[in-house]
Structure 1
Amino acid sequence: MKLLLDQNLSHRIVQSLAKVYPESMQVSALHMSNATDQEIWDYAQQNGYVIVTLDADFP
């Protein structure tokens, strides 16, 4: 499983998860800091990621 951490979660978490989820990324590492929630959703779907976010209103 690959996790895609939303920009509201620290990029440092990716390092902590690396052993269990080695292909995980954070949105800013993909240069998507200004992307809309829908763009992030689409990217995750197209690339096999599960989105991790604290946003209650994420689509």
Structure 2
Amino acid sequence: MKLLLDENLSRRMLGMLEPYFPESSHVSFVGLEGAKDAEIWSFAGESNFVIVTRDSDFSELAALHGPPPKVIVLQISNCRWRDMASPIIRKHKELVTYLGQPDVAVVELRESS
């Protein structure tokens, strides 16, 4: 599973996430910095990325269109980028299993995750 970090997340997270989610990227590295959510959604679906965001707009797109792509929403208050990456790493196996199910479109990770 490869992740596509939304613009509202630090690019620096990729270094921590890469061992767990190879080939992951950030919207700015794939030419989508400043792009509309629909463009990011389309690219992620065509390129087999899971979108990682703090923005509920992608959850709404998932409810409207269904997967692909799938979405991980970080329900975490403002904190350092390392603290944003940690729950994704901690829940790596569960995310792979859960998002591997065809009917799952969105996973929310909360601070206590």
Q: Which interval holds the TM-score relative to the shorter structure? A: over 0.9
TM-score computed with the length of structure 1 as normaliser: 0.93
Matches for 1:1-59 after TM superposition, within 5 Å? 1-58=1-58, 59=61
How many percent identity over aligned positions?
Answer: 49
* Counterpart residue identity of residue 18, structure 2: A
Alignment RMSD (CA, Å) = 0.8
Unaligned runs of 5+ in 1: none
Kindly indicate whether structure 1 or structure 2 has the higher relative contact order, using CA contacts under 8 Å at least 6 residues apart: 1
Q: Who wins on radius of gyration, i.e. which is larger?
A: 2
Q: Secondary structure at the match of 1:15?
A: helix
Q: Secondary structure at the match of 2:57?
A: coil
* Counterpart residue identity of residue 8, structure 1: N
Q: Secondary structure at the match of 1:52?
A: strand
Q: Which has the higher helix share?
A: 2
CA distance in 2, matches of 1:21, 1:44: 15
Deviation at 1:31, TM superposition (A): 1.9
CA distance in 2, matches of 1:53, 1:17: 14
Superposed structure 1 runs of 4+ greater than 2 Å apart: none
TM-score computed with the length of structure 2 as normaliser: 0.50
CA distance in 2, matches of 1:2, 1:26: 11
Unaligned runs of 5+ in 2: 62-113
